[in-house]
Amino acid sequence: MEIDLSKMPLGQVDSLYDLDRMKAGYIMKDINKLNESCEIKYNYMIIPMSVYNILEHHPSFISRKIESELDGLWNVGTIFGYECYLDMLMPTDQISVYYNKQIARDLKIDSILEGRIIPETKVDITIIN
């Protein structure tokens, strides 16, 4: 999936802060559209610093005290029900959206018992500037 920020309607932008708020809304609108089209809802995403710097300006972003995890990811907050994890080594134009292990386990059990096909656990989103 791709999110093209060059197609974003700009309107009146007075500052970089306003521009980042608009970009954050545009990014989250597309991610929510992806989630609405899926049977299983994704509930966390791994983002690079460049995307974190945009999303943190959105009024719905709830910051957390940054706590380091064992695998090098930092839980930095939530936005629209998505847990946001910061990965400093991730490419700057990429977002990965996942569902958690509890949902993955339930899907695996359903696939064994009912013969259902397991949907992808991860969706990579590329941001085009």
Q: Tell me: the pLDDT tens digits for 4-15?
A: 888 887 777 888
Using DSSP, state whether 29 is helix, strand or coil.
helix
Over range 71-76, report the average pLDDT: 83
Q: Spell out the alpha helix ranges (H) of the chain.
A: 16-36, 49-55, 101-114
> What separation in angstroms does the CA of 4 have from each of 37, 97, 117, 126, 129?
19, 17, 31, 8, 6
32: tokens are 């929510």
**In angstroms, rounded to a whole number, what is the distance separating the alpha carbons of residues 92 and 106?**
32
Task: Report all structural domains of the chain as residue ranges with CATH numbers, in order of start.
Answer: 2-128 (3.30.1930)
pTM of the predicted structure, to 2 decimals: 0.82
Is pLDDT of 102 > 70?
yes
- Using an 8 Å Cβ cutoff, are 91 and 48 in contact? yes
Over 80: is that where the pLDDT of 119 sits?
A: no
Pick the closest to residue 96 from 117, 113, 114, 82 (CA basis): 82
